[in-house]
Amino acid sequence: MPKVPLWDLPELPQNHLPPHLQLQKTRVSCNNDAPTNTESIIYSGAYAAMGVDNSLRLGEFRKNFKVNVMKLNEEDMEFDLIGIDASIANAFRRILISELPTMAIEKVLVANSSSVVQDEVLAHRLGLIPIKVDPRLFEYMSENDVPNEKNTIVFKLHFKCERKSGERRTVYSHDLEWLPFGSEYVLRTENSSDSTSKPKTYTSFNSSQETLPEFSNNPISVTPGIIISKLGPGQEIELEAHAVKGVGKTHAKWSPVATAWYRMLSEVVLLQDIEDEDAQKLVNKCPVNVFDIEDMGKGVKRATVARPRDCTLCRECIREPGWEEKVALRRVKDHFIFTIESTGALPPEVLFTEAVKILEDKCERVITELS
């Protein structure tokens, strides 16, 4: 940059940063060697010297903040979160992964298991099966609680491979059978003399879960098609699995998402006009077809950025020396493409709103603690 005397500098308009600083503030530039300007500048007085106020204003935020849902089905969801800081977006991501509760099998009572899969491993596998039930209908079970219809879901698995068949059989997750009345296994007690009362089982359900309006015509099930074990002729598995509510922080099996993540919107800028051969080269370079060729007439072809959103940042376009001056790969710092892959317990959009609620709660807690 040429040296310019201070008094010759152009008068800065209020609340406008010079372009290079604006770029640094709003964009991550992904250079060939390393990304730069990755951090978000939050300090309100960061540009005070230039008379620019960097503080966040609620009104401004409200005006700018946008959510665009790009894709939504039962399991996946992709939406844009625009006008938000990385820390907030990350907070949602973290909450989604580790703090949203779900139901997962925690306790397995094995009555009989002659399969090759060891009991612990079997229990571990069962634990990881997502249960399709709204966890909000249940309570956490603390240490002193007895398992009841409010905090426990009981499944039964009884699977036998007949010796006669001579073939192996596969046990799938959909072979798990929901027991709305709770455990069927009778607790062994010393004084089993009073046969009049109902025998005590491993759970103490007061009523059937089926009577609850939520489950009356919507029985609890698990994600089908997951292989639990394979049985040889003559082998048998008989067990009961008790699912309780928990969060992903304790164990990944309670995480409601397969994963949740975001990426910043990519911005590909052609710093120079790239024409003819170079344009074709550029188009060929990109494995995800970010660029297109535009016919400018007179036989001149110019490269344009057609689908910047598709850029995976393979940096193939700027790999060759010299190209870094022609193409700039950037990320927009306040535009997040958020993806949620649900495990099936809750639909992804509900997951996100739940995550927002949890963040709200946390904020409220902080405020109450502070005041």
Partner 1 sequence: MGVSGDSAVLYDNLQRTGGVDKQFLAAPVKSAVDKFQLLPEFLKVRGLVKQHLESFNYFIRTDIKKIVQANNHVASRFDPSVYIRYTDVWVGRPSEVVDGVTDSLSPQKCRLGDNTYAAPIFVNIEYCNGSDSRMMMKKEVVIGRMPIMLRSLSCVLHGKDEDELAKLGECPLDPGGYFVVKGNEKVILIQEQLSKNRIIIDSDKKGCIQASVMSSTAITKSKTIIRMEKEKIYLVLNAFTSKVPIMLVLKAMGMETDQEVVQMLGRDPQYATLLLPSIEECASIGVYTQQEALDFLEKKRKKSMSRFGKDDGALGVLRDIFIPNIPVRENNFYLKCVYVVVMMRRMMDAILNEDAMDDKDYVGNKRLELSGQLLALLFEDLFKSLNDMIKLTVDKSLSKASRTSRLDISQHILKDDIITKGLERSLSTGNWDVHRFRMHRRGITQIVTRLSFIGAFGSMTKISPQFEKSRKVSGPRALQPSQWGMLCPCDTPEGEACGLVKNLALMTHVTTDEEEGPIISLCYCLGVEDLYLLSGEELHSPDSFLVILNGLILGKHRTPQLFALGMRKLRRAGKVGDFVSIYVHEKQRCVYIASDGGRVCRPLVIADNGVSRIKHHHMKELKDGVRNFDSFLREGLLEYLDVNEENNALIALYEGEATYETTHIEIEPFTILGACAGLIPYPHHNQSPRNTYQCAMGKQAMGNIAHNQLCRMDTLIYLLVYPQRPLLTTRTIELIGYDKLGAGQNATVAVMSYSGYDIEDAIVMNKSSLDRGFGRCIVMKKMSAMYQKYDHVCDKIVSPRKSQHDSEILDNDGLASPGEIIRHLDIYLQKECPLDPKAKSHPSQIQYRTSKQTYKGAEGEPAVVDRVALCSDKNQNLIVKFMIRHTRRPEVGDKFSSRHGQKGVCGTIIQQEDFPFSERGICPDLIMNPHGFPSRMTVGKMIELLGSKAGVSCGKFHYGSAFGEPSGHAHKVEDISETLVKHGFCYNGKDFLYSGITGTPLQAYIFMGPIYYQKLKHMVLDKMHARGMGPRQLITRQPTEGRSRNGGLRVGEMERDCLIAYGTSNLIYERLMISSDPFEVQVCRECGLLGYINYKTKTRMCSTCKNGDNISAMKLPYACKLLFQELQSMNIVPRLQLADS
Q: Is 119 in the site for partner 1 (CB under 8 A)?
A: yes
**Separation between Cα atoms, residue 283 and residue 280, nearest integer Å:** 5
**Separation between Cα atoms, residue 344 and residue 356, nearest integer Å:** 19
Among 262, 291, 323, 352, binds partner 1 (CB under 8 A): 262
Q: Is 289 in the site for partner 1 (CB under 8 A)?
A: no
Determine the size of the site formed for partner 1 (CB under 8 A). Answer: 49
Q: Is 312 in the site for partner 1 (CB under 8 A)?
A: yes
Nearest C-alpha neighbor of 269 from the set 2, 8, 30: 30
Q: Is 128 in the site for partner 1 (CB under 8 A)?
A: yes
Provide the minimum distance between the beta carbon of 143 and partner 1 in the complex, in angstroms, as a whole number: 17
Provide the minimum distance between the beta carbon of 98 and partner 1 in the complex, in angstroms, as a whole number: 5
List all residues 6 or more positions away from 302 whose beta carbon is below 8 Å from its beta carbon.
273, 274, 275, 279, 293, 294, 296
Q: How far lies 329's CA from each of 98, 270, 282, 303, in Å? A: 32, 9, 13, 15
287, 281 Cβ separation under 8 angstroms: no
Q: Is 36 in the site for partner 1 (CB under 8 A)?
A: yes
Among 271, 288, 356, 363, binds partner 1 (CB under 8 A): 288
Structure token digits, residue 173: 């997750």
| Span of 52-60, 90-98, 164-172, 194-202 interacting with partner 1 by CB under 8 A | 90-98
Tell me whether residue 45 or residue 287 sits nearer to partner 1 (CB atom).
287
Q: Based on the number of CB atoms within 10 Å of its own CB, is 62 exposed (0-12), middle (13-18) or buried (19 or more)?
A: exposed
Provide the minimum distance between the beta carbon of 369 and partner 1 in the complex, in angstroms, as a whole number: 22
Q: Is 332 in the site for partner 1 (CB under 8 A)?
A: no
Q: Is 76 in the site for partner 1 (CB under 8 A)?
A: no
Tell me whether residue 37 or residue 183 sits nearer to partner 1 (CB atom).
37
107, 126 Cβ separation under 8 angstroms: no
131, 226 Cβ separation under 8 angstroms: no
DSSP track, 195-217:
-SSPPPBSS--SS-GGGSTTTTT
341, 257 Cβ separation under 8 angstroms: yes
Q: Is 360 in the site for partner 1 (CB under 8 A)?
A: no
Which residues in the 38-57 window bind partner 1 by CB under 8 A? 38-40
Among 15, 68, 90, 192, binds partner 1 (CB under 8 A): 90
**Separation between Cα atoms, residue 151 and residue 12, nearest integer Å:** 63
Q: 39: how many CB neighbours lie within 10 A of its CB?
A: 10
Among 249, 357, 362, 365, binds partner 1 (CB under 8 A): 249
Among 255, 274, 343, 351, binds partner 1 (CB under 8 A): 255
Tell me whether residue 27 or residue 301 sits nearer to partner 1 (CB atom).
27
Q: Is 98 in the site for partner 1 (CB under 8 A)?
A: yes
Tell me whether residue 252 or residue 300 sits nearer to partner 1 (CB atom).
252
Among 18, 25, 80, 94, binds partner 1 (CB under 8 A): 94
Q: Is 315 in the site for partner 1 (CB under 8 A)?
A: yes
Nearest C-alpha neighbor of 232 from the set 183, 164, 172, 289: 164
Point out which residues bind partner 1 (CB under 8 A): 28, 30, 34-36, 38-40, 86-87, 89-91, 93-94, 97-98, 110, 113, 116, 118-121, 124, 128, 248-249, 251-253, 255, 259-264, 287-288, 312-316, 319, 331, 339, 341
